[in-house]
Structures are given as structure tokens and as C-alpha cells.
Amino acid sequence: MKHSVKQYALALYEVTADQKKATIPDLVKNFLNLLIKNNDLAKLNDIIKAFTDTWQKANGQLSAQLITKQPVTAEVLKNITAYVKTQTDCQNIDWQQSTDPTILGGLLIKYRDQVIDGTIKNNLLRLKDKLVN
Amino acid sequence: MDSIIDTFHVDLKLLIAQAVNFAIVFVALYYLAFKPLAKTMQNRSQKIADGLKNAEVIAQKLEQSKAEQKTIIKQAKQEANQLLQQAQNEANERKDQMIAKAKEEIGQIITTAKAKIQQEKAVILKELKAEVADLVVLTTAQLLKEKIDPKKDKDIINQLIK
């Protein structure tokens, strides 16, 4: 029987969630053996990503990517963090910041499978679509 | 009697011989000439009479033939007129059909042409819109690139996450 990435990730989380650190390597080893046995080792990267999301959700953590035209100030980042917290119910947000002058302004936030595109470039593209259609 | 005979030197034998000769010649002529001649004349008369009779019959037939000819010509003229009229009617009908068909075809051509023009117009309009949109976006982007400074960018971000 085949299992989905999400099922594997959830199973790994449930097995490791309340365990002590010392037992986790053995559990992970068993999990890897299971993947090999089921011939699902190719799904490992996706399983790790899904496991991370599940782990972060369960622990109120979030890895998010922030793209702006120029580096944001601490004050602006604080406001952005507060905004994302209201959207996700996550208390700890781990930001990966980068700059891209081509977005012209505004911000682009990516987390999990969500994208919040508030860039000027995106607004101009939407305007272009409206003008054409 | 004898005196007369003597007076006129009539030789009775000769006379009888001449009479016999005459009779022989007469009979010969009668059978060999008069009778065939009479028969030939009779035949000729009969032929002439038959010819006249035939001529009358021919004349009658000719008259009859002329009358029939007139009737036939009259009928032929009537039939020709009917045919002509029928041909005229058919030609008119065909002409009307052809005109109707031509009108229909012209209508279809016009409709197709109009549709094509509309399509081309729509394509051109779409292209024009796309070009205008590109121009607007490019110009706006160029302007915004110069106009949006860090402070304005900060304001934009704050507006977005409000």
C-alpha cells in the first residue's frame, strides 16, 4: 500500500513528538528503513519539508521568506511579523530576508504554500491584465 | 342491163373480183388497222378520262392537303407559342432563382466579410490594448522606479499590512 508524503510526515511527527532526544536517531533510522522497504525513499525531501511544516505548526513556528526592494528596518519587520502572526497563529517566525529591485516597491511574503504578493510590480501586472482584458 | 354494162364496158368478173378484193382488204384493214386503232383510241380516251378523274381527285386532295397543312401550321404555331411561353416562363423562373441565389450568396459573403472584419478588428484592438498596456506599465514602472524612495516604500509596506 502506498502512502502520501503528508501521511509519512504526520507519522514521523507523531512517533517523534513526545520522545526524548536520545531515542530520536533510532526512530529516524527505523523510519528510513520503512521508506526503503516501501520503495519511497525518493519522497524523502518532500517528507522532510512536510514534517518541518507539521512540526512548526504544532510548535507555533514558521519559516517565511520576505522579499523587498531594499532591506527593511527593524520597525517595519516588526509590523510585518505582527501581520503574519495574525494570518498564521504562529508565534515564532524565522525570516529569510532578501532584496529584489525589480519588484519596484512593496513586499513579497512566502511561507508554507502561501504567497502574499504586495509588490508594485505585481500591481502593475494586474493593471496590465485589466487594460488588456 | 346488159346495155349499161356494155356501155360502160363493165366486166362483171372483174367487178366481182374487185369486190372480193375490196372485201378482203376491208376485212384485213378492219382487223388489222381499224379494230386496234379503235381499241387504242378507246384506251386513250379511257386514260384521258382516268387522268382527268385523277386530276380532280388530286386537286381535291391538294385542297384537303392545303387545309390540313393550314391546320398543322396553325397547331404548330400554337405549340410553338406555348413552348415559347413555357420557355419564357422557365427562363423567368430560372432568372428569379439565380437572382435569389446570387442575393443569398452576396448576403453570405457580406456576413462572412463582416465577421472577418470584426475578428480582425478585435485582434487589432487586442494588440493595441496590449501595446498600450505595455506602454502604460513600462512608463509607470519607470516613473515609480524614480519616485519610490525608501520612505515611500516603507509607507506602502505599512499600508499593505495594515
> What mean pLDDT, rounded, does chain A reach?
91
Cα-based torsion angle of the residue sequence A17, A18, A24, A29 in order, rounded to the nearest 10 degrees: -60
Binary contact (A79, B152; C-beta < 8 A) = no
Q: How far is B112 from chain A (nearest CA, A)?
A: 25
Higher pLDDT residue, B129 or A1? B129
CB contact under 8 A, A125 and B137: yes
- Supply the pLDDT for residue B96: 96
Residue A69 has pLDDT above 80, yes or no: yes
What's chain B's average pLDDT? 91
Q: Out of B130, B133, B154, name the one closest to residue A76 (CB).
A: B154
Give yes or no for residue A94 having a pLDDT over 80. Answer: yes
Cβ-proximal residues to A77 (8 Å cutoff; 6+ apart), any chain = A66, A95, A97
Angstroms from A54 CA to nearest CA on chain B: 26
B132-151 residues touching A, CB cutoff 8 A? 132-134, 136-137, 140-141, 144-145, 148, 150
* Best residue of A84, A132, A133 to probe chain B, by most B CBs closer than 10 Å: A132
Residues from chain A contacting residue B145 (CB–CB below 8 Å):
104
Estimate to the nearest angstrom the gap between the alpha carbon of A73 and the chain centroid: 23
Looking at residue A61, what is its pLDDT? 87
Q: CA A128 to CA B129: how far, in whole Å?
A: 9
- List CB contacts of A84: < 8 A, sequence separation 6 or more: A62, A64, A90, A93, A109, A111
Question: What pairs with residue A107 in β-bridges?
Answer: A68, A118
Largest CA distance in chain B: 204
Q: Which pLDDT does position B162 carry in this prediction? A: 82
Chain B residue numbers with beta carbons less than 8 Å from the beta carbon of A83 are 161
pLDDT at A4: 92
pLDDT of A113 strictly over 90: no
Residue B160 has, within 13 A of its CA and on its CB side, a CA count of: 23
Categorize the per-residue pLDDT at A48 as very low, low, confident or very high, splitting at 50, 70 and 90.
Answer: very high
| Radius of gyration over every alpha carbon of chain B, rounded to an integer in angstroms | 64
Closest among A56, A93, A89 to A77, alpha carbons compared: A93
Please name the member of A72, A79, A124 whose beta carbon is closest to the beta carbon of B137: A124
Distance in angstroms (rounded) separating the CA atoms of residues A96 and A77: 11
Distance from CA of A30 to the nearest CA of B (A): 45
Q: Shortest Cα distance from A68 to chain B (angstroms)?
A: 9
- Mapped onto helix, strand or coil, the DSSP state of residue A30 is helix
Which pLDDT value is given to residue B62?
93
Residue identified by cell 516597491 is A105
CB contact under 8 A, B137 and A127: yes
pLDDT at residue A131 tops 90: no
The pLDDT, as a whole number, for residue B1 is 65
Please enumerate, as own/partner, the contacts of A20-26 that have beta carbons within 8 Å and a separation of 24 or more: none
- CA of B132, closest CA in chain A: separation in Å? 8
Task: Give the per-residue pLDDT at A58.
Answer: 84
Cβ contact (<8 Å) for A72 and B157? yes
Phi/psi at A62 (nearest 5 deg)?
Answer: -150, 130
Q: Which residue has the cell 504567497?
A: A115
B148 with A69: CB under 8 angstroms? Answer: yes
Domain boundaries, chain B: 2-160
- Domain ranges (residues) in chain A: 5-57, 60-132
Given a contact cutoff of 8 angstroms between Cβ atoms, the answer to whether A8 and A35 are in contact is: yes
Nearest-angstrom CA–CA distance, B124 and B129:
8
- For chain A, what percent of residues have pLDDT higher than 70? 99
